[in-house]
């Protein structure tokens, strides 16, 4: 396995710009090199594919309309041998971009409508750099953990310490990106475990859903800051990108074997009981029980916590919304058990493991929106 180094400086980020317009590639190269990036360019799509196969690049700036093949065909070829490179599609006009379905299937991180002002493109690139740094950190921890596992296979107590450190590190990376959601994963994990215990499940199941609750939003590491930290409501395209975070989480967690059992709960925590959720549109008990538990806990904490785009609901208001969502959004039986659990919410708040939401952040947000939607 190639040793991944944390990318602390722009000069360590390699950008590849592909456009059949030589003037555009030279302009992109000049602009981003002046900002401290290492930039290579190419005007021939076929030669570009070979270079991307032979050399490592972190970010690809890719024109859509080219000859002899367009950008979507270039991405299809690249994804056969490189699933990690971040791709930003460049278009002459938004209407010329490929369909959203194609963008999602090819794992394209975003697109930029060409203009003389590269400011927005630079923000997209900076967002990609942050994600690259975070993913590199995780891979370093993964490799360290695997090395420790090989050396200390019989020392379960030491391995547990490494596991806990990785959990803490990965969770803190996600929380650090947005002060409004800091502590959210801890609370979802806490509530999921409490709910699992109240349902009479086994200790192994309780521990598994607790861990899955911690990691349920880890996939948001690959969501651009321009979407994740947006002050207003996100548009349809941005919502589709945001809805990729469960699949992103699977890509991250599947690299460590000890996380494999929690993956179904993380992947499907946004499925709805009536089949209208994502990413797979599962219905009822097709959704694993861990995911149905996390779905309720996640919705409750989201509704009762402040966000930059809305104020919070009270516990009683959140309970009313959970009841409204029984049978459509939430598993009815699990919802009933959870509502009985939070009838003693003061007891939950007094638990030493409970982390209070940030309640003094930007109370002047706009209309109340149901975050679980």
On the question of pLDDT at 360 being above 90, the answer is no
pLDDT at 370 over 60: no
Sequence-ordered strand ranges (E) for the chain: 14-18, 38-42, 59-63, 86-91, 110-113
Q: For residues 114, 120, 123 and 127, what is the CA-based torsion angle, rounded to 10 degrees? A: -60
Three-state DSSP class for 17?
A: strand
Question: Considering the chain, what is the average pLDDT of its residues?
Answer: 82
User: Where in the sequence numbering do the catalytic residues fall?
Assistant: 220
9: pLDDT strictly greater than 90: no
**pLDDT confidence of residue 4:** 40
| pLDDT tens-digit series, residues 28-59 | 999 999 888 999 999 999 999 999 999 999 99
**Three-state DSSP state, 188:** helix
Considering 78-92, 136-150, 290-304, the range whose residues carry the highest mean pLDDT is: 290-304
Check residues 349 and 77 and name the one with the higher pLDDT.
77
**Could you give the CA distance from residue 185 to residue 201 in angstroms, rounded to a whole number?**
21
pLDDT of 217-268, one tens digit each?
Answer: 888 888 887 877 777 778 888 889 999 999 988 888 887 777 889 999 999 9
What stretch of H or E contains 263?
A: helix 263-267
**pLDDT given for residue 54 in this prediction:** 92
The predicted structure's pLDDT at residue 131: 82
Residue 168, burial from CB neighbour count under 10 angstroms (0-12, 13-18, 19+): exposed
Q: At what angle do helices 184-198 and 203-215 cross, to 10 degrees?
A: 160
Indicate the range of 122-131, 204-213, 224-233 predicted with least confidence. Answer: 224-233
- State what percent of residues in the chain have pLDDT above 70: 80
Contact at 8 Å (CB) between 218 and 249?
A: yes
What is residue 357's predicted lDDT score, i.e. its pLDDT? 65
Q: Which tens digits make up the pLDDT trace of 149-173?
A: 666 555 555 555 666 666 666 666 6
Q: pLDDT grade, residue 345 (50/70/90)?
A: confident
* 3-class state of residue 170 by DSSP: helix
Q: Which long-range contacts (CB under 8 A, 24 or more apart) does 119-122 make?
A: 121/61, 121/88, 121/90, 122/31, 122/32, 122/35
Of the candidate ranges 163-172, 244-253, 297-306, 323-332, the one whose mean pLDDT is the lowest: 163-172
H, E, C per residue of 85-139: CEEEEEECCHHHCCCHHHHHHCCCCEEEECCCCCHHHHHHHHHHHHHHHHHHHHH
Give the whole-angstrom CA distance, residue 97 versus residue 237.
12
Q: What is the mean pLDDT of residues 169-184?
A: 63
In the predicted structure, residue 296 carries a pLDDT above the cut 90 = yes
Decide if pLDDT at 361 tops 60: no
Mean pLDDT of 175-197: 80
pLDDT higher than 90, residue 103: no
Domains and their CATH numbers in the chain:
10-129 (3.40.50.2300), 178-349 (1.10.3210.10)
SS3 251: helix
pLDDT in the model for residue 127: 84
User: What pLDDT does 156 receive?
Assistant: 56
Q: Which of 288, 132, 127, 322 shows the shortest CA–CA distance to 216?
A: 288
User: What DSSP designation does 317 have?
Assistant: H
Of the candidate ranges 1-10, 121-130, 222-231, the one whose mean pLDDT is the lowest: 1-10
Cα angle 311-314-319, degrees, rounded to a multiple of 5: 120
At residue 2, the pLDDT reads 39
3-state SS, residue 80: coil
């Amino acid at each position: 396995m190639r040793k991944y180094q944390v990318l602390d400086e722009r000069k360590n980020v390699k950008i590849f710009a592909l456009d059949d317009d030589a003037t555009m590639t030279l302009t992109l190269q000049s602009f981003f090199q002046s900002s401290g990036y290492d930039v290579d360019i190419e005007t021939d799509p076929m030669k570009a594919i070979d270079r991307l196969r032979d050399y490592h690049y972190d970010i690809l700036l890719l024109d859509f309309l080219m000859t002899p093949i367009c950008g979507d065909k270039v991405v299809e070829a690249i994804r056969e041998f490189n699933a990690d490179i971040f791709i930003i599609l460049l278009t002459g006009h938004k209407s010329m971009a490929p369909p959203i379905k194609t963008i999602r299937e090819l794992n394209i991180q975003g697109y930029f409508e060409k203009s003389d002002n590269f400011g927005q493109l630079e923000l997209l690139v900076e967002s990609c750099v942050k994600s690259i740094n975070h993913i590199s950190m995780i891979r370093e921890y993964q490799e360290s953990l695997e090395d420790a596992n090989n050396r200390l296979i019989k020392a379960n107590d030491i391995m547990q310490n490494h596991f806990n450190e990785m959990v803490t590190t990965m969770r803190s990376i996600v929380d650090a990106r947005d002060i409004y959601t800091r502590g959210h994963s801890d609370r979802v994990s806490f509530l999921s475990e409490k709910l699992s215990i109240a349902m009479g499940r086994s200790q192994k199941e309780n521990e598994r859903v607790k861990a899955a609750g911690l990691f349920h939003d880890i996939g948001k590491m690959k969501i651009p800051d321009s979407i994740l930290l947006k002050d207003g409501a996100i548009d349809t395209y941005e919502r589709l990108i945001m809805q990729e975070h469960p699949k992103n989480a699977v890509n991250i967690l599947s690299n460590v074997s000890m996380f494999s059992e929690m993956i179904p709960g993380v992947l499907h925590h946004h499925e709805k009981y009536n089949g209208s959720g994502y990413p797979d549109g599962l219905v009822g008990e097709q959704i694993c029980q861990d995911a149905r538990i996390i779905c309720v806990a996640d919705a409750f904490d989201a509704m009762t916590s402040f966000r930059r785009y809305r104020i919070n609901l009270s516990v009683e208001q959140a309970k009313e919304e959970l009841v409204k969502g029984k049978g459509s959004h939430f598993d009815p039986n699990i919802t009933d058990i959870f509502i009985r659990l939070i009838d003693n919410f003061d007891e939950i708040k007094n638990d030493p493991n409970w982390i209070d939401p940030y309640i003094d952040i930007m109370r002047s947000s706009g209309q109340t929106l149901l975050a679980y939607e």
